[in-house]
Structures are given as C-alpha cells and as structure tokens.
C-alpha cells in the first residue's frame, strides 16, 4: 500500500549514481589537486631570474626591465588568484568536514545526502548563499555595511601570499614573512569592527567591540610566541624557519626546545582567539549575542564572513606547522637532497617536481590535522566570558610567552646536542601521551553501559 507521505525505503542501500560519484571526486580531489598542480607548475618561475631564463629559452627578450617586471606582476597576480581560490575551496571543504565531525561527536550523522558522503553539501550551501536575498537594514550605514566583508576578505587573502605550501611552493618568500603575516591577518578585525558599526544593531556592536578587544589583545602573546621559533631559526622568512627544522618530530622546533613547546600552545591558543574560534567565539556568541557582528548580514555577504572564518583556520594551522611542527620537511629527506634533484637546467627535473608534491602533501596533512584539532576543540569546549578571555591573555599567555622568549634567548646558546636530546625526550613524551589518550578514549566507551565501538551509520 502506498502512503502518500512515506517514501520508499529502498534507498536505504546506498548506490550512488555515476554523476554524483564523478562530481564528488572532482570537487574532493581534482579541484584542490588542480590548484596544487597549477601552483607547482608556476612557482619555479616566479623569480625574475627564472623568468628571464625561461624567456631566453623561448627566444624572447625580456632584458628590458619594464617587460620583465610586468610579466612578473602578471604571474604573481595569477598565483595570488589561485591561492585565493584555494582558500575558498578550503573554506568550503572545511565546512563539510566540520559538520561531519561535529555530527558524529554529537551522536548525529551530519550532512550525508548531496554527493557521496554528503561532500557536495558545501557546494550546495555556496549556491544557496549566492541566491539568497541581500538584505541591508534600513538604518544601516549602507556603504560601510557593504564594504565590511571585503575588509575581512583582504585580511584573509593577504597572508596567503607568504604561506608556504611546499619546499619551493610559496607565492613570495618575503624575508619579513612572519611579520607580514601577523600584520596583514589582523586586518580581519577591521571588517568585524566596520560590520558591527555599520549594522546599526546593538547585538552587532557588542560583537564588534568584543572582537576588536579580543584580536588586539591576543596579537601580543601571539607575537611574542612567534618570536621563539624566529630566534631559533634566526630569520623572519617562513621558508627559512622551515629549512632550519627537520622532517622528524625531534627535529621540529616544538620538540627541540621546551620553551618552544609551550610557545606552540600559546601561539595556537592566541590564534584561536584571533580567529574567533570556540572557546573564544565571543564576537559571534550565538547564545549571548544571537550572531554578533554578522547578525544583520545575509546572502553573499554572510558567506564571505563565514568563508573568512573557516579559511582562516588554514592560516592558523599553516602558521603553527611552519613555526613549530617542521612545515613541509619530509622525514629522512633533506633540503639539499631535493635541491640536488633539481638539475642545472631551467626546467627542473620530474623527480624534483615529485619531491615538491610530497612536501606539499606533508604540509597539507600536518595542517589538516591541526584544523581537525581546532574543529574538535570547538565541539568540546564551552565559551569563555569576556573578562576571563582578557584575564587569560594578560595573566597567562603574555607572561608565559615572555618567559618562553627569555628562555629561548639562552637556549639558542646551548650546543646542538642538547637540542637533539630535548627533541627526543619531548617527542617520546608526546607519543606516550598520545597512547595514554587513546587508552583513555577506549576506556570511555568501555565505561558506559550499552556503548560499543561501531563505525557504521555514516
């Protein structure tokens, strides 16, 4: 008997149509991979000298500096676009990852309908956001209201210029990279402040003021904590800091130096606060301020704000990986080995590209693990209060970061063998803790009557 409202339950067994499979695979693997490959192919030539060499080989004369600089500029622009696209795709994929993880942690399933495993839900969401009505409150400051999301977007995209992706895969390896990154990423708060003011809503204003206070305060511990690896590497360049580390855990800065180990946590905490992630999501505290600074936004504009928030996680993760966790360094493969495979030709060898790809993957995996940690924290912790947020910053993080800074001043003078011992001891300790944690997790399931390990129902 056919009941009009109850659908057939035959779709319980999931057989995805080929188009769904193909689209999902494209968006899941091909799209990020494509962006990576484009970057990989372009980046060896993003130095003026390399460009010159390529041009000479093609028989063009780029000797005139104006032409050369124009070409250089165009290539940089294309690379910047690719990286910004990467940020957008990452933000989208992260929404899906976050929702699936959150769902599972909350005994729910999470979005699993569009595409395979529901992966296309972020594409669907993006389209939905684009087609929604763009509302501007009647009493809002229309110009600033519209401009605010772009301020945040600028703050998001500028840091990507110096973020390394792989051994030679970075848009611009500035010699003041770390400094540039902390400076430009703070631009996001301008968007928050402007949106809060322009919305002409009390909730939004509360959120904006909270956001400004929070980001400005946490810049200080973040800045001091960043100084620890900078001192250990002796350079502000992001690639330089990674090159000073190694591929194995005891060669990472976080393990080499106990102070850097602490600084790593301080830096991650501070960047969580700067990125408005739980437990520091005060500017948009849902249960207090409804939605905080973006309470009045809708459609494409809120999509931009949300994109900034999620893509910012990549910056947070990549920064921590770069400074403390060895960046793209491949275990047992030194930078010299990779450089030797490059060859003397203008075009590097295929093997060199292979190593680049491996370094890309190493970096991506490490960053994703940190991103998942941020997601995990968000779905575990409650939110701190405004005064506690400030107290944490000024009473704990700032003195802590400063102590790490002073400690490192002396640490860089001790011989390298001590670094190695500390590295081995610390990484062994971390491994031990991870095992303990896994056992604790297993015990959690065993302790509750009626609970069991069951990985079905995705």
Partner 1 sequence: MAEPVERQVLRRLTPSDEEIVINFGPQHPSTHGVIDFVTQTNGEIIRRSIPDIGYLHRGLEKIGEAVGYPGYMPFTDRIDYLAAMLANEGYAMAVERLLKLEVPPRAKYLRAIAGELCRISSHWVAVGSMAADIGASTPLTHALREREAINDLLEELCGARLTFNYARIGGVSFDAPEGWREKVLRYLDHLDSYIQEWDRLISLNEIYVKRLAKVAVISREKAIAYGLCGPNLRASGISWDTRRDLAYGAYPEFKFDVPVGEGKMGVKGDCWDRYAVRVLEMLESSKIIRQALAKLPEGEIMAKVARKPKPEAGEAIGRVESARGEMCYYVVSDGSENAYRVRVRTGSFMAMGIIEEMSQGLMIADLIALIASFDIVAPEIDR
Partner 2 sequence: MPETVRNYFGAITDVVQTFWQGLSVTLSHMLRRPITIQYPDRTEKRVADMLPARYRGFLEVDMAVCTGCLACARACPIDVIKISVDKDPANPKQRVITQFDIDESKCMFCGLCVEQCPTGAISHTREFESTVRVMENLVFRWVPDAAKPAPFYRPVKGQDAPRAPVGSLMRGYLAAQVWAAPAPDWVVPAPGKDKG
Residue ranges binding partner 2 (CB under 8 A): 1-9, 11-12, 101, 103-109, 376-377, 379-381, 395-396, 437, 440-442, 444-445, 451-457
CA 31, 37, 40, 41 dihedral sign is negative
The minimum distance between CB 209 and partner 1, in angstroms, equals 8
**Binding-site partner at residue 34 among partner 1, partner 2, none, CB < 5 to 8 Å by type:** none
Q: Is 447 in the site for partner 1 (CB under 8 A)?
A: yes
Phi/psi class of residue 424: alpha, beta or left (left: φ > 0; alpha: ψ in -120 to 50)? alpha
The minimum distance between CB 20 and partner 2, in angstroms, equals 16
The minimum distance between CB 340 and partner 2, in angstroms, equals 42
Q: Is 388 in the site for partner 1 (CB under 8 A)?
A: yes
Of 57 and 202, nearer to partner 1 (C-beta) is 202
Residues 6+ apart with CB under 8 A from 280: 214, 272, 273, 383, 384, 389
**Binding-site partner at residue 64 among partner 2, partner 1, none, CB < 5 to 8 Å by type:** none
Q: Which of 54, 84, 386, 403 binds partner 1 (CB under 8 A)?
A: 386
Q: Which of 57, 113, 128, 385 binds partner 1 (CB under 8 A)?
A: 385
**Binding-site partner at residue 1 among partner 2, partner 1, none, CB < 5 to 8 Å by type:** partner 2
**Could you give the C-alpha distances from 88 to 6, 45, 115, 200, 407, in angstroms and in order?**
39, 24, 19, 29, 39
**Residue 167 phi, psi (nearest 5):** -55, -50
CA 244, 248, 250, 252 dihedral sign is positive
Of 106 and 349, nearer to partner 1 (C-beta) is 106
Q: In b/e form, how buried is each residue of 103-126, taking b as 16+ CB within 10 angstroms?
A: beeeeeebbbebbbbbbbbbbebb
The token pair that represents 102 in the structure block: 């959150």
Q: Is 108 in the site for partner 1 (CB under 8 A)?
A: yes
Of 102 and 174, nearer to partner 1 (C-beta) is 102
Which region among 185-193, 282-290, 301-309, 409-417 touches partner 1 (by CB under 8 A)? 282-290
The token pair that represents 26 in the structure block: 């494209």
Which region among 143-151, 243-251, 273-281, 404-412 touches partner 1 (by CB under 8 A)? 273-281
The minimum distance between CB 9 and partner 2, in angstroms, equals 6
Q: Is 288 in the site for partner 1 (CB under 8 A)?
A: yes
End-to-end Cα distance, the chain: 30
Residues 6+ apart with CB under 8 A from 322: 163, 164, 238, 241, 242
Q: Is 413 in the site for partner 1 (CB under 8 A)?
A: no
CA 388, 391, 395, 397 dihedral sign is positive
Cα gap 426→18, rounded to integer Å: 49
Three-state DSSP at 227 gives helix
The minimum distance between CB 183 and partner 1, in angstroms, equals 29
Closest of 237, 236, 218, 219 to residue 227, by C-alpha: 236
The minimum distance between CB 251 and partner 1, in angstroms, equals 33
Of 37 and 386, nearer to partner 1 (C-beta) is 386
Three-state DSSP at 366 gives helix
**Binding-site partner at residue 299 among partner 2, partner 1, none, CB < 5 to 8 Å by type:** none
The token pair that represents 189 in the structure block: 């708060």
The minimum distance between CB 312 and partner 1, in angstroms, equals 19
**Residue 123 phi, psi (nearest 5):** -70, -45
**Binding-site partner at residue 387 among partner 1, partner 2, none, CB < 5 to 8 Å by type:** partner 1
**Binding-site partner at residue 4 among partner 2, partner 1, none, CB < 5 to 8 Å by type:** partner 2
Write out the residues near partner 1 by the rule CB under 8 A.
102, 105-108, 202-203, 206, 209, 278-279, 281, 285-290, 379-388, 444, 447-450
């Amino acid at each position: 008997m056919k009941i009009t409202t109850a659908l057939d339950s035959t779709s319980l067994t999931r057989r995805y149509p080929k188009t769904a499979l193909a689209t999902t695979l494209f968006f899941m693997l091909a799209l990020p991979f494509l962006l990576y490959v484009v970057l990989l192919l372009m980046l060896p030539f993003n130095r003026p000298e390399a460009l010159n060499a390529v041009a000479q080989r093609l028989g063009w004369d780029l000797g005139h500096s104006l032409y050369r600089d124009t070409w250089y500029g165009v290539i940089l622009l294309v690379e910047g676009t690719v990286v910004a696209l990467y940020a957008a795709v990452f933000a989208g994929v992260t929404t899906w990852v976050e929702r699936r993880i959150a769902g599972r942690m909350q005994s729910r399933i999470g979005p699993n309908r569009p595409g395979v495993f529901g992966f296309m839900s972020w594409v669907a969401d993006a389209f939905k956001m684009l087609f929604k009505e763009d509302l501007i409150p009647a009493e809002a400051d229309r110009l600033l209201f519209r401009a605010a999301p772009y301020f945040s977007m600028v703050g998001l995209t500028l840091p990507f210029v110096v973020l390394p992706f792989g051994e030679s895969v970075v848009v611009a390896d500035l010699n003041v990279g770390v400094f540039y990154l902390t400076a430009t990423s703070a631009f996001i708060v301008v968007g928050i402040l402007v949106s809060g003011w322009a919305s002409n809503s009390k909730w939004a204003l509360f959120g904006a003021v909270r956001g400004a206070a929070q980001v400005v305060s946490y810049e200080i511990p973040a800045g001091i904590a960043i100084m620890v690896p900078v001192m250990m590497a002796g350079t502000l360049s992001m690639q330089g800091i990674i090159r000073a580390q190694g591929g194995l855990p005891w060669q990472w800065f976080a393990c080499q130096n106990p102070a850097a180990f602490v600084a790593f946590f301080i830096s991650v905490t501070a960047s969580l606060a700067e990125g408005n992630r739980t437990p520091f999501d005060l500017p948009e505290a849902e249960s207090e301020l409804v939605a905080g600074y973006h309470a009045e936004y809708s459609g494409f504009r809120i999509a931009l704000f949300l994109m900034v928030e999620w893509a910012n996680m990549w910056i947070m993760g990549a920064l921590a990986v770069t400074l403390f966790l060895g960046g793209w360094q491949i275990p047992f493969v030194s930078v010299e080995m990779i450089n030797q495979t490059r060859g003397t030709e203008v075009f590097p060898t295929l093997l060199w590209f292979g190593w680049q790809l491996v370094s890309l993957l190493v970096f991506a995996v490490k960053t994703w693990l940190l991103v998942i940690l941020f997601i995990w924290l968000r779905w575990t912790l409650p939110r701190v209060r405004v005064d506690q947020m400030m107290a944490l910053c000024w009473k704990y993080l700032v003195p802590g970061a400063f102590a790490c800074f002073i400690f490192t001043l002396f640490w860089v003078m001790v011989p390298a063998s001590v670094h190695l011992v500390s590295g081995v001891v610390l990484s062994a300790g971390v491994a031990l803790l991870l095992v303990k944690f896994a056992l604790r997790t297993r015990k959690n399931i065993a302790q509750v009557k009626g609970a069991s390990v069951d990985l079905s129902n995705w």
